[in-house]
């Protein structure tokens, strides 16, 4: 690991996906060499939880979270709160999700997506772990449900891979939630998205890759991996008018505040 690089966190990746799973030691080594000292790998179907958990157990810098992805909500058994609570007993399990709403390709399953989302919110409430939200073409329902549920009982949350409207960004920020910056923010035509981030408090911004998807330039269109968090962080620093080192410190502190269980693990290690 290269200690001279500012340390950053990839708060959302999918290390169990086929294009990464075959070379995990190398992927993790490239990440740490780039300064990405922690990664959260996300399980999107609960039946895959044992495989995702094993990745976190085998690699010191890797933590994990699990939930039912909204695009799979109609095809998978409905998650149970008790099931998610049981997963949360694992020492490196640090978040609930990803869950959320996706009406782009799967609008026909919106009712079951909303039911699944509310179950995950209750699990986040009970465990105290952050909710990890996927939102696509569902801004009005997303803002409404997150707000309704927050009024029924507080919880913490990150809007993963945020690329929605200023209105949803503001609704999330008003609830004390976080926005996560992915490689999309580094695309040349994403100025509107960069403006949304620039208007947000830097204390509420995280970094992620969503790898193997959404690689930032100069790797756009190719496989993404956690090491490329550094490329998005470079753009993020420019958006906020900060040095790379200051932006790295701030986003890492933000991660520690939200993903408190990962922070506690790292402190104890």
Number of domains observed in the structure of the chain: 1
Tell whether the model's pLDDT for residue 165 goes beyond 60: yes
In this structure, what is the dihedral angle of CA atoms 212, 134, 137, 203, given to the nearest 10 degrees?
-100
Instruction: Give the dihedral of Cα atoms 161, 164, 168, 173; nearest 10 deg.
Output: 40
Q: Is there a domain that residue 145 lies in? A: yes
User: What does the alpha-carbon distance between residue 157 and residue 142 come to, in Å, rounded to a whole number?
Assistant: 12
Provide the CB-side half-sphere exposure for 223 (13 A, CA): 11
pLDDT at residue 1, as a whole number: 37
pLDDT of residue 5: 82
Q: What is the domain-level CATH number for residue 166?
A: 3.20.20.140
Question: Is 203 domain-assigned?
Answer: yes
- 109 contacts: CB under 8 Å, gap ≥ 6: 70, 73, 74
pLDDT, tens digit (0-9, with 9 covering 90-100), for 86-136 = 999 999 999 999 999 999 999 999 999 999 999 999 999 999 999 999 999
| Spatial distance between the Cα atoms of 9 and 35, rounded to a whole number of angstroms | 8
Determine what percent of the chain is predicted with pLDDT higher than 90.
95
Dihedral sign for Cα 132, 171, 102, 74, please.
Answer: positive
Mean pLDDT computed over 58-84: 97
- At 13, list the tokens: 């990746």
- pTM (two decimals): 0.96
pLDDT in tens, 190-242: 999 999 999 999 999 999 999 999 999 999 999 999 999 999 999 999 999 99
Look up the domain containing 135 and give its range.
8-263
In a domain, 3, yes or no: no
Residue 198 sits at the vertex; the CA angle it makes with 243 and 164, to the nearest 5 degrees, is 130
Percent with pLDDT over 70 in the chain: 98
Range 162-189 average pLDDT:
97
**What pLDDT is attached to residue 150?**
98
* pLDDT score, position 267: 77
The answer to whether the Cα torsion of 213, 216, 220, 226 is positive or negative is negative
Q: Does residue 194 form part of some domain?
A: yes
Question: Average model confidence (pLDDT) for the chain?
Answer: 96
Residue 2 has a pLDDT of 41
Confidence of residue 3 (pLDDT cuts 50, 70, 90): low
Domain-embedded: residue 2: no
Higher pLDDT, 267 or 132: 132
In a domain, 177, yes or no: yes
Residue 268 domain-assigned (yes or no): no
Instruction: Supply the pLDDT for residue 21.
Output: 85
Tokens 């001279």 label which residue?
A: 4
- Residue 17 in this model has a pLDDT that exceeds 60: yes
Pairwise CA distance, residues 34 & 6, whole Å? 9
DSSP-assigned states of every residue in 105-127: T-GGGHHHHHHHHHHHHHHHHHH
> Backbone phi, then psi, for 247, in 5-degree steps?
-70, -40
- 24: helix, strand or coil: helix
Q: What is the DSSP letter of 242?
A: -
208 within some domain: yes
CB atoms within 10 A of CB 126: 16
């Amino acid at each position: 690991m290269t200690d001279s690089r500012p340390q950053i966190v990839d708060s959302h990746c999918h290390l169990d996906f086929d294009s990464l799973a075959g070379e995990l030691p190398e992927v993790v080594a490239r990440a740490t060499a780039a300064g990405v000292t922690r990664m959260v790998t996300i399980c999107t179907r609960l039946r895959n939880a044992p495989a995702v958990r094993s990745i976190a157990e085998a690699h010191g810098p890797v933590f994990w979270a699990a939930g039912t992805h909204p695009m799979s909500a109609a095809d998978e058994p409905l998650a149970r709160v008790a099931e998610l609570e049981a997963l949360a007993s694992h020492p490196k399990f640090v978040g609930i999700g990803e869950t959320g709403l996706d009406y782009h390709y799967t609008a026909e399953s919106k009712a079951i997506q909303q039911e699944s989302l509310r179950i995950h919110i209750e699990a986040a409430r009970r465990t105290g772990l952050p909710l990890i939200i996927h939102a696509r073409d569902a801004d009005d329902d997303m803002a409404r449900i997150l707000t309704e549920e927050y009024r029924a009982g507080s919880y913490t949350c990150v809007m993963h891979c945020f690329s929605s409207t200023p209105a949803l960004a503001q609704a999330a920020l008003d609830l004390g939630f976080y926005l996560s910056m992915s490689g999309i923010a580094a695309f040349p035509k994403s100025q509107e998205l960069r403006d949304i981030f620039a208007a947000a408090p830097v204390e509420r911004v995280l970094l992620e890759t969503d790898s193997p998807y959404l690689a930032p330039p100069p790797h756009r269109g190719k496989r993404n991996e956690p090491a490329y968090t550094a490329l998005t962080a470079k753009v993020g620093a420019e958006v906020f008018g900060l040095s790379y080192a200051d932006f790295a410190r701030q986003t890492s502190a933000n991660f520690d505040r939200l993903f408190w269980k990962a922070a506690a693990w790292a402190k104890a290690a």
